[in-house]
Amino acid sequence: MKQKDTLTPRQLSALLFLGVLSAAIRLLPKAPVAFAGTAAWLAPAAAAAPTALFTLILMGFLRGRREGEGLGELALRSLGPAAGRAVCAGVALWLLFYSGFTLRVSAERLLSSIYKSGGVLLFAGVTAATAAVLAAGTLRGLARTAEVFFPLAVTVLTVVLAAAVPNLKAEYLLPVSRLDLPGVLRAALPVTNLAGLYGYAGFLTGYLPPGRRERSRAVFRRLAWGFALFTAILFMTVGTLSAEMIGHIHNPVFTMIQNVHFYGDTAHIDALIVVLWVAMDVFWLGTLFRIQAELAGLIAGLRRRNRLVWPTAAAAMAVCLLTGPTQFDLTRISDRVIPGVQLALMFVVLPGVYLVGKLRKRL
């Protein structure tokens, strides 16, 4: 691993947070509303405990890392070369599928929100190429760009959510009672799943400077901010569109933004939001490509792993073109396949590897 290519925990966090935010805008309103209806905006509060548990497991695992090690290296150390490589290969293949899916969804979003007569190939190709250019350089470059972009994305999202406040309706947010508890608990699953994406940061911790460890308090503070943003997104979409309509709408956040007016006049700021959203996708895909390259390099024993970013992007592009092929298929994958695998990684694979490492006294 190149020791010159280092980044701070803050930069790493910004990079991952942008990816999580992009997925949150896409997934958040629909999935929790399907379980909890009007009470869906309470789902982040219910997801706090399982997310905290996952974070503690992840941080416990990462505490045993040595200089230049990430989750991949730790898996190899815990499970031994063969089983460790197999697990890393499994995660890399999963991420390949996930990045191909993300590419496809990103392109579909442009088609369903702006360019109704465009083609997937063009949008996915440009997004993949841009993400690959960013990821193939130094990780520090990608992370610093994300660090600069992060406040812009959060500010714009906050302003847009604030601008939608006049459209809020109490009757769309209430009633909420103890009878909603089972639904809210089930709705916590997709939110936990989403927060778990942040855990992919673990594969890049090898780039943190030697001796620089992420403090628990800082991690939990960032998570708390993330959950506040999740709650705000859910609260505003449910409060402006209603749980009933969210069930019918493909991109609820986008529909909410379409109805935002500034000073009663300026409308249709949605194109601006789509641009930001695509930019967030680019950072997220860049991060995913880089993690896959790291894992592939680790399995193959390569030193200059960033050279694997372009082949990874090409493979993701192939997955993207094969995924779907319709918007309905993508929704099915998003609702059923991805949450299942993601939760298995968070609460089965990661704790399992950690436990084996501890039992074998390799950590």
Partner 1 sequence: MRGRRYAAACLAAVLLPGLCSGCAGNTVYTQLRDVESLELVRTVGVDREEQVTVTVVTGLSAGGDAPITLQEQGATLAEAMHMLEQSASRRRPFYSHTEYLVLGQSAAEAGILGYLDYFGRMLEMRTDTGVYLVRDGDAAPVLHSVCGGKDGGDRILAFLKEDLPRTGQGYVATCLETAVSLERYGCALVMAIRLRPGEEPDAVQVRPAGFGVLENGRLTAFLSDAESRGVCVLQNRVREMALVTDDGQGGKISLQLGPVRTAIVPVFANGALVRLDAQIRSTANITEMASRRSAEDPAVRARIASQVEEQLTKWAQAAVDCAQRMGLDFLALGGAAARKAPVRFAAVQAAWPEVFPKLDVAVTAQVEVIRSYDMDAPLSGGPMRRNAETGEA
Taking the least distance from each CB to partner 1, the nearer of 174 and 348 is: 174
Q: Under the criterion CB under 8 A, does residue 331 sit at the interface with partner 1? A: no
Q: Please tell me the distance from the alpha carbon of residue 135 to that of residue 229, in angstroms, as a whole number.
A: 27
Site string for partner 1, 252-291 (x = CB under 8 A): ---x--xx-------xx-----------------------
Taking the least distance from each CB to partner 1, the nearer of 11 and 242 is: 242
Taking the least distance from each CB to partner 1, the nearer of 248 and 360 is: 248
| Candidates 45-53, 80-88, 213-221, 238-246; binding stretch for partner 1 (CB under 8 A) | 238-246
| Residue recorded with tokens 């695998």 | 341
| Shortest separation between residue 318's beta carbon and partner 1, angstroms | 25
Taking the least distance from each CB to partner 1, the nearer of 82 and 265 is: 265
What letter does residue 266 receive in the DSSP assignment?
B
| Shortest separation between residue 123's beta carbon and partner 1, angstroms | 11
| Shortest separation between residue 175's beta carbon and partner 1, angstroms | 4
Stretch 295-324 residues interacting with partner 1 (CB under 8 A): none
CA nearest 99: which of 200, 206, 182, 244?
Answer: 200
Q: Please check whether residue 295 is in contact with residue 72, taking contact to mean a CB–CB distance below 8 angstroms.
A: yes
* Cβ-defined contacts of 290-293 (< 8 Å, 24+): 290/135, 290/139, 290/142, 290/204, 291/92, 291/95, 291/200, 291/203, 291/204, 292/92, 292/95, 292/96, 292/99, 292/316, 293/135
| Shortest separation between residue 114's beta carbon and partner 1, angstroms | 7
Question: 106-118 burial string, b = 16+ CB within 10 Å, else e?
Answer: bbbbbeebeeeee
| Candidates 114-122, 138-146, 181-189, 298-306; binding stretch for partner 1 (CB under 8 A) | 114-122
Q: Please tell me the distance from the alpha carbon of residue 186 to that of residue 34, in angstroms, as a whole number.
A: 9
Q: Number of residues interacting with partner 1: please give it, by CB under 8 A.
A: 28
| Candidates 113-121, 295-303, 305-313, 337-345; binding stretch for partner 1 (CB under 8 A) | 113-121
| Residue recorded with tokens 């997934």 | 27
- Residue 344 has which token pair? 């298995």
Q: Please tell me the distance from the alpha carbon of residue 349 to that of residue 91, in angstroms, as a whole number.
A: 10
Taking the least distance from each CB to partner 1, the nearer of 118 and 209 is: 118
Stretch 124-183 residues interacting with partner 1 (CB under 8 A): 167, 170-172, 174-179
Q: Please check whether residue 208 is in contact with residue 6, taking contact to mean a CB–CB distance below 8 angstroms.
A: yes
Q: Which of 63, 215, 248, 304 binds partner 1 (CB under 8 A)?
A: 248
Residues near partner 1, by CB under 8 A: 112-118, 167, 170-172, 174-179, 241-242, 244-245, 248-249, 255, 258-259, 267-268
